Amino acid sequence: MNKKLLILDGHSMAFRAFYALPVENFSTSAGQPTNAIYGFASMLINLIRDEKPTHIATAFDVSRKTFRSEKFPEYKANRAATPEEFRSQVSYINELLDAFEIPHFELEGYEADDVIATFVKKFSNQAEIYICTGDRDSFQLVSDRVTVLYPKKGVTELARMTPDAVLEKYGLTPKQYPDFAALRGDPSDNLPSIPGVGEKTATKWIQEFGTLSELIAKVDIVPGKAGGALRAGLASVITNRELTQLKSDLPLSTELDELSWSGVEISKVNQLFEKLEIKALKARVAPFAKDGQVKEVAAKKKNLRDVTNFEFEKALSDSTGFVGLLLSENQAAISIEPDTVLVAPIGDVASAISGFKNFIFHGAKQKISSKVLKTVAVDTEVAAYLINAGSRNIALSDLLQKYLGIESNNSSDDLFTLDWDPSITCYLPELWEVLSKELEGMNCLDLFNQIEMPTMHILAAMEATGIAIDRQELQSLLTFFAKEEAEATSLAYKSVGHEFNAASPKQLQAVLFEELKLPKTKRIKTGFSTDAESLEWLFSTTKHPVLASLLRIREVGKLKTTVEGLLNSTKADNRIHTTFQQTTTATGRLSSTDPNLQNIPIRSDEGRRIRNCFVAQEPFVDLLTADYSQIEMRIMAHLSDDKGLLEAFRTGEDLHSTVGAQVFDVPVAQVDADMRRQIKAMSYGLAYGLSSYGLAQQLDISPTDASILMSKYFERFGGIQDYLKEVVKIARDKGYTETILGRRRYLPDLSHENRGRREMAERMALNAPIQGSAADIIKVAMLNVEKAMRSEKLSSRLLLQVHDELIFEIAKGEHEVMEALVRKQMGSAFELKAPLDVNIGFGKSWDLAAH
């Protein structure tokens, strides 16, 4: 068996855990903080599970006084004092390591990195080595036998720094890294940098000269201001280099066999978890108990009981807490006690399941909308999504493996499968205990219980209800678009004198660029682009009639495909039952699939004809549409507290004209359509990280003019500029953004050294609080409207949520009460400094109800 040594940088990882989890949410009843312990233990469990080491060791710093601080007294002198809340947890982390039977090492006068470097030198020929540390100086240790596991997000996501990964990230080999670090400096260690010399220049020099020693030897030939700065700061660079070099010759007599690891001392670990009141981790560590010790995991898989419907119903009626539930096509399994699963035919116990409210289930919405379930208290899929929005790994099997170390026999998350494992039902309460602790640590438990879970039930009802379709009108539209497509295709053929496949990029390239000799568009791998944007540019440049025909083919082709999809999705009840996706977007926004009703065209007359096919169905008489006016701009005004923008909303006049008047310094009446267009693009673009270059492209103006426009805008609305800068800074410091209700979006790439990825994350950081807050508000509005409708005992019903719009089917005689109710509940969903404004319309169809 290959030997695999895992080495932990104890202080580095404990500090990361401490700052990743809010200390106020992790403490014992006696007040002992536990956030660092919890995060460290969770990270350790994940590492053991994922890396499967045969040997483990941990290295710790002793104090800040080391040979480095003696040589350079300013070394790490800028760091704040260690928080007492952290200091009080260190002894427990050592106790945890003892219970895990993992030895820990430290040496006076040296840092943990030096202990690790010594072990690497000593053991890399005997074992593969994996180092988990947040200190980049360790990259110098990387080799074919040594991998650094570097945290990207808290202590949960780790980058595997191999020689190739170091080369890709820095353009240098691991051995060159300390030379690069010496030139770059390190603010976290208080190592000075060279003024005007950043990472790119440092990399270029090391690539050019090979080593820092060679660069120093030839420093007189380094050109430019950067060369002059290097010569002036050479003494600091030489000192930096001595400090960044890790010591690998410490007097440590430990042998590899002494680091051999065979499992945890489960009784000690459980005893410690009990004392520290972090029981949620007990199930996750159980799979790593030493051989011969009783594993809770194994015990639970043995106690399955087939029961009668009477026993099943009695177990539910006697239950006072949460009950795990799993369903197959024919059977239902529940877990009442921690180690017992009861199984019964689903048809025999359907009424008992419908009457019980405290189920823990995974992916409940589909089961509720299809009437298999009536309600659940906890949906672990929704909980996992809220913890890490945007993650694709929220299938039940993934969560059981990630949080509890359980390998499920279920090959998919479709619980209506014959290949199912009812024993995993007993893990659902444990899974929820872990997830709820994480939500609590994020201050998101109320968001889960009060917003996301009730929203899930409303979405299930909306899916079951569906929206009525005028099938005959939809069919006539399909005929119309097919005819339009055929006519446009015929015109395209006439324009070039022969037939060709307008859907083939290869044939289009031949026709446009070889045959017609039209100007070349942007180059792509297969030639030149023929996408819609490129065709529009070509048409505006050349006015060639074939381009008009091609654009028309594209336009009506999309509309035809949309109509075909709607017809295929219309059920026997003449209604479309879309599936709302609550757990897919990173911002909290809802989306829909099968079909996607969030994408029905609205800007063109032909697109609105499709919306006209969505109708009220008897006995209902009309549709009501209600949407928020400029909600994202109102949220930006609220978050930025910009007095000018808040005043623009207060006037009640056209927002973009009012803002334009201030930016262009003219009366509102003199703001023309072009000015208003520019201001509208600017205002909305800011929330998406729009640059002056992007604004120039969007408005078809020069980058200089776009830059001047942005400068004028920020002169008048400085609060917005300050907010945009601050929101990115806070997100970079915390690692995540937050909405007005506390919804998080983690953005590890904010600290990425690749500029493109970092700037993309910065744009996400700008947008996530605004778009996510809009998602929060529309969900609160849905809940409030539904509650008020039930209170008034109204027959009208909510059908769709599309972006910032809600669509209702209105019962006869309920127009007035519904308009007042919807306006009040949507308008009061959240108290913004720029108050919410609601537009409402009625009509026989979705289009006619538009306002």
- Please report the pLDDT score of residue 609 as a whole number: 95
Task: Evaluate if residue 695 carries a pLDDT over 90.
Answer: no
- Please report the pLDDT score of residue 267 as a whole number: 81
Average confidence (pLDDT) over 749-753? 77
Question: In whole angstroms, what separates CA 527 from the centre of its chain?
Answer: 35
In sequence order, the 6+-apart residues with CB closer than 8 A to the CB of 577 are 369, 463, 464, 465, 466, 569, 571
Cα torsion through 401, 402, 403, 409, rounded to 10: -10
Range from 274-288, 633-647, 772-786 that averages highest in pLDDT: 772-786
Average confidence (pLDDT) over 519-537? 88
- Please report the pLDDT score of residue 40 as a whole number: 92
Q: Answer with the residue of higher pLDDT: 446 or 397.
A: 446
- Please report the pLDDT score of residue 298 as a whole number: 41
Task: Evaluate if residue 418 carries a pLDDT over 60.
Answer: no
The mean-pLDDT minimum among 37-51, 271-285, 401-415 falls in 401-415
185: phi > 0 → left, psi -120 to 50 → alpha, else beta; which?
left
Task: Evaluate if residue 479 carries a pLDDT over 90.
Answer: yes
Task: Evaluate if residue 614 carries a pLDDT over 50.
Answer: yes
Q: How confident is the model at residue 407 (pLDDT cuts 50, 70, 90)?
A: low
Task: Evaluate if residue 565 carries a pLDDT over 60.
Answer: yes
What predicted TM-score, i.e. pTM, was given to this entire model?
0.69
**Which of 361, 376, 512, 382 lies closest to 451, judged by CA?**
382
Q: Answer with the residue of higher pLDDT: 436 or 227.
A: 436
Long-range contacts at 403-410 (CB < 8 A, ≥ 24 apart): 403/284, 403/431, 403/434, 403/435, 404/283, 404/284, 404/297, 404/430, 404/431, 404/434, 405/45, 405/49, 405/283, 405/284, 405/285, 405/286, 405/287, 405/288, 405/297, 406/287, 406/297
pLDDT tens-place string over residues 107-163: 888 888 999 999 999 999 999 999 999 888 899 999 999 999 998 765 567 889 999
Helix (H) or strand (E) holding 632: helix 631-640
Backbone Cα Rg of the chain:
32
Task: Evaluate if residue 532 carries a pLDDT over 80.
Answer: yes
Task: Evaluate if residue 415 carries a pLDDT over 80.
Answer: no
Are 709 and 657 in contact, with CB atoms under 8 Å apart?
Answer: no
Average confidence (pLDDT) over 512-524? 90
Task: Evaluate if residue 599 carries a pLDDT over 50.
Answer: yes
Q: Answer with the residue of higher pLDDT: 617 or 752.
A: 617
Q: How confident is the model at residue 687 (pLDDT cuts 50, 70, 90)?
A: confident
Are 379 and 453 in contact, with CB atoms under 8 Å apart?
Answer: yes
Range from 149-153, 305-309, 333-337 that averages highest in pLDDT: 333-337
DSSP lists the bridge partners of residue 628 as 838
- Please report the pLDDT score of residue 302 as a whole number: 46
Task: Evaluate if residue 638 carries a pLDDT over 50.
Answer: yes
Average confidence (pLDDT) over 440-450? 94
- Please report the pLDDT score of residue 416 as a whole number: 34
Task: Evaluate if residue 662 carries a pLDDT over 70.
Answer: yes
Calculate the average pLDDT of the chain.
87
Domains of the chain and any CATH numbers:
4-162+247-259 (3.40.50.1010), 298-465 (3.30.420.10), 467-576 (1.20.1060.10), 585-630+758-851 (3.30.70.370), 632-757 (1.10.150.20)
Residue type, 22: P
* CA–CA separation, 493 and 515 (whole Å): 13
> Looking at 639-786, which runs of residues are DSSP E strands?
736-738, 744-746
Are 430 and 296 in contact, with CB atoms under 8 Å apart?
Answer: no
Average confidence (pLDDT) over 56-60? 94
Q: How confident is the model at residue 663 (pLDDT cuts 50, 70, 90)?
A: confident
**Which of 804, 723, 733 lies closest to 766, judged by CA?**
723
The mean-pLDDT minimum among 187-191, 230-234, 396-400, 777-781 falls in 187-191
- Please report the pLDDT score of residue 86 as a whole number: 87
Average confidence (pLDDT) over 755-782? 92
pLDDT tens-place string over residues 711-748: 888 888 889 989 999 999 999 888 899 999 999 998 87
* CA–CA separation, 698 and 257 (whole Å): 65
Q: How confident is the model at residue 78 (pLDDT cuts 50, 70, 90)?
A: low
pLDDT tens-place string over residues 260-302: 998 888 888 888 888 888 877 877 887 888 764 444 444 344 4
Task: Evaluate if residue 240 carries a pLDDT over 80.
Answer: no
Helix ranges restricted to H, 222-335:
224-232, 234-244, 266-276, 282-285, 296-300, 309-318
Share of the chain above pLDDT 90, in %: 49
Coil, strand, or helix at residue 809? strand
Q: Answer with the residue of higher pLDDT: 199 or 810.
A: 810
Are 441 and 352 in contact, with CB atoms under 8 Å apart?
Answer: no
